[in-house]
Amino acid sequence: MNEQKNLLEVKNLKQHFDVPNGFLKSLKLKAVDDVSFSIKEGETLGLVGESGCGKTTVGRTILQLYKPTAGEVWFDGQLIKSKKSINEFRKQAQMVFQDPYSSLDPRMTVSDIIGEPLDVHKLYSNKKERAEKIKYLMDLVGLSPEHATRYAHEFSGGQRQRIGIARALAVDPKFIICDEPVSALDVSIQAQVINMFEDLQKKLGLTYLFIAHDLLVVKHISTRIAVMYLGKLVEIGPSNDLYHNPIHPYTISLLSAVPVPDPNIARANKRIHLEGDVPSPLHMPSGCPFRTRCPKATEKCAETMPELKEVQPGRFVACHNL
Ligand SMILES: Nc1ncnc2c1ncn2[C@@H]1O[C@H](COP(=O)(O)OP(=O)(O)OP(=O)(O)O)[C@@H](O)[C@H]1O
Ligand code: SF4
Ligand SMILES: [Mg+2]
């Protein structure tokens, strides 16, 4: 059997922020709390969960934009910790951001934006080669060469996201964290951009961590899906299995809220309305973080935190009452 190797391994990652709370006091905000997963070469792992559950912080901590509070990130068999390993990793791993309106400087031309990482990493030997690389990158993302001298503010959201992707691709990365790359775009443009991500993956052999709110988007592009709630992973498994047979009570409620495209096909489980709001990550419930909203909660759920356990091959769920 041709076992693909793990390109990225995240082990017991924690990102705790100190949030000021009164004079000389602070509270710990556990944005990411003991998260572990791996991504195989060429695979896409979808990461979903409600706003504020820690998805972006997972991405930023993997890329060492925040120093992890605890835990390890391994890439291509290397621990990413020393300055040297972080610098090398930053050439191989890139992030594409949610908002193409604020992540690109509107006063820079397309050619400046895409050329900047080429300059920073000295990836050309003369001006001609630099111009050729920019042209190649623009072509990869479907921008025509005459766009090179135009300014970012002249473009629509979808085209700006293409510029952002070309910029991320400039260093020839192996791994890209896509942080809600289509959430800010018109629905009519979203599918085009998703298709482009898929085409680029095939063409360039890329590996993705694909963050989104929208389970339908994630299902389409992901090999596997991980579900996050209040800084923790509650379920992870193959995309189709998880979508058609969710196991964790939170995944079940998330999926029950996804509209089924064909109105003639009713979902087997009815729409579940979650009681209450997501608790503040500054005041986490004891035991299972989902217990304050979970329809299946029992006493044990308030006492101990359920571990992520393999309940079917490749399927991990953190719940006491399965
Ligand atoms: N730099 C920071 N300092 C303090 N708290 C932070 C910081 N960044 C994020 N947080 C907090 O960490 C938690 C997780 O935030 P994060 O942005 O990772 O969530 P998210 O899942 O990406 O949300 P969204 O879907 O809205 O993008 C939130 O409670 C947020 O307020
Ligand atoms: S451990 Fe308890 S509260 Fe948490 S998801 Fe399972 S049943 Fe619900
Ligand atoms: Mg986010």
Cβ atoms of residues 199 and 141 within 8 Å? no
pLDDT at residue 150, as a whole number = 95
Is the CB of residue 321 below 6 angstroms from any atom belonging to ligand 2?
Answer: yes
**What's the DSSP call for residue 253?**
H
CA of 242 to the centre of ligand 3 (A): 22
Q: How far apart are CA 225 and CA 192, in angstroms?
A: 21
Q: Whose CA is nearest to atom 16 of ligand 1?
A: 54
CA of 52 to the centre of ligand 1 (A): 5
Q: Whose CA is nearest to atom 9 of ligand 1?
A: 57
Q: H-helix or E-strand containing 240? A: helix 239-244
Q: pLDDT truncated to tens, each residue of the chain (322 aa)?
A: 456 899 999 999 999 999 998 888 899 999 999 999 999 999 999 999 999 999 999 999 999 999 999 999 999 999 999 999 999 999 999 999 887 778 788 889 999 999 999 999 899 999 999 999 999 999 999 999 999 999 988 999 999 999 999 999 999 999 999 999 998 888 889 999 999 999 999 999 999 999 998 788 889 899 999 999 999 999 999 999 999 999 999 999 998 876 665 555 444 445 566 767 788 889 899 999 999 999 999 999 999 999 999 999 999 999 999 8
For 130, residues 6+ apart whose C-beta sits below 8 A from its C-beta are: 115, 118, 119, 124
**What's the DSSP call for residue 5?**
P
Q: What is 6-317's CATH superfamily?
A: P-loop containing nucleotide triphosphate hydrolases (3.40.50.300)
Domain locations in the chain as residue ranges: 6-317
What torsion, rounded to 10 degrees, do the Cα atoms 150, 161, 73, 205 define?
-90
State CA 134 to chain mean position distance: 26
State CA 277 to chain mean position distance: 23
CA of 66 to the centre of ligand 3 (A): 14
State CA 49 to chain mean position distance: 10
pLDDT at residue 102, as a whole number = 80
